[in-house]
Every structure is written in C-alpha cells, then in structure tokens.
Amino acid sequence: MTEIALFHHALGLTPGIEAFAETLREAGHTVHTPDLFEGETFATIEDGVGFAGEIGFGEIMERARRAVEPFPAELVYIGFSLGVVSAQMLAQTRAGAKGAVLCYSCVPFSEFGESWPDGVPVQIHGMDADPYFAEEGDLEAAQDLVASTDRAELFVYPGDQHYFADSTLPSYRPEAAELLMSRVLAFLSTID
C-alpha cells in the first residue's frame, strides 16, 4: 500500500483530519499526520490563518520539510487548504514523490518550480462556490496545473463550503465528502 504525509488545514490537527487519515489507514495505507501547529487548534479559519501568519508561512513549510525527513522519499502528499502549500511544495521539490492530493486549495505550480514534476500524478478537489477556492485564484491555479500535465485531475463539487470533507465541522457535506474519499482511494490504488 501507499505511504502518505497528510497536512492539516488552518484549524490545526483536528479530529476531522485524524478521522480522514484513519479512513485511509483502514484501507491499508500508512498515514503520517505532522502537526505543523505543535498542538494549537482554532475555531475559525481567520484565527488559524492569523496564527500561521505569526509563525510565518516559510516556517510552516520548513516544519513540513523537517517532518517528512525521517520518512521514505516515495510518499504521496495530501494537503487540506493551508496544508496544500506544504503538500504541493514537497510534491514538487522533494525527489521521489509518488503523487499529491490537494483539497480545497491549489497554489500556482510556478511557486515551486517551472513545471509540475514529470510522472507525479495529482488530484485537486474544491467546491465551485467556495469563496476561498473559487474566488481567490485557487481554481484558476488548479486549471492551469491540469492544463500543464496529463497526470492531473480536477474535481469541482457543487457547494460553497471550504472544509467540506472534515466530518467534525459544520461545513461538512457528507455526499461531497464521500465522493472525495472514493476518488482519493481510487487514486491511491493506482500508485505503485
């Protein structure tokens, strides 16, 4: 099975992130969930992003880089919202990446290199009316990424929620979350 580094969103390493990781473990995958906030969790996106800003986004990415050092290079990187920055950075810059899953966000791939790495498949998931995903440039970045490689898939779900696959939050949308999980599991089954 696949070894995965899964990076949390701006609320921190919440029970919903752990539940997502546990579902992947139950499917036979090895999943690491680095806590880039070192135990801090938040009730709102604004508070979490504010905390991340205080730490510094460069420091958060460095924490992610350090967190995966003990693991094999052949990882799939999964990120949720703020965690996409770390997942995408590592998928694009750490040799040996087996794939990436970017949930609720996408950074222009030019932030981490001239192109998406050859042979590294990627899935991107977001809602079509999520103000963070659809209105702040993430959807366009995802479309550009898909256009740049034949190894990318973009899945856009109807709705306006950002953390729609976190089962412990009011933004949870079960139907979309189940579809996202089924697509992630199918993606992981293709990784060799």
Look up residue 12 and give its two tokens: 């921190």
Low-confidence ranges of the chain (pLDDT < 70): none
At residue 19, the pLDDT reads 97
- Identify the pLDDT of residue 192: 77
The pLDDT of residue 74: 97
- Quick: pLDDT tens for 99-134: 999 999 999 999 999 999 999 999 999 999 999 999
Per-residue model confidence (pLDDT) at position 142: 98
CA dihedral 87, 57, 139, 91 (to 10 degrees): -20
Q: What is the DSSP letter of 172?
A: -
The topology (CATH level 3) of 3-189 is Rossmann fold (3.40.50)
Q: How far apart are CA 192 and CA 184, in angstroms?
A: 15
Closest CA to 79 of 107, 55, 51, 53: 107
**C-alpha–C-alpha distance, residues 131 and 136, integer Å:** 7
**What's the pLDDT at 143?**
98
Given the DSSP bridges, would you call strands 152-157 and 99-103 parallel, antiparallel or unpaired? unpaired
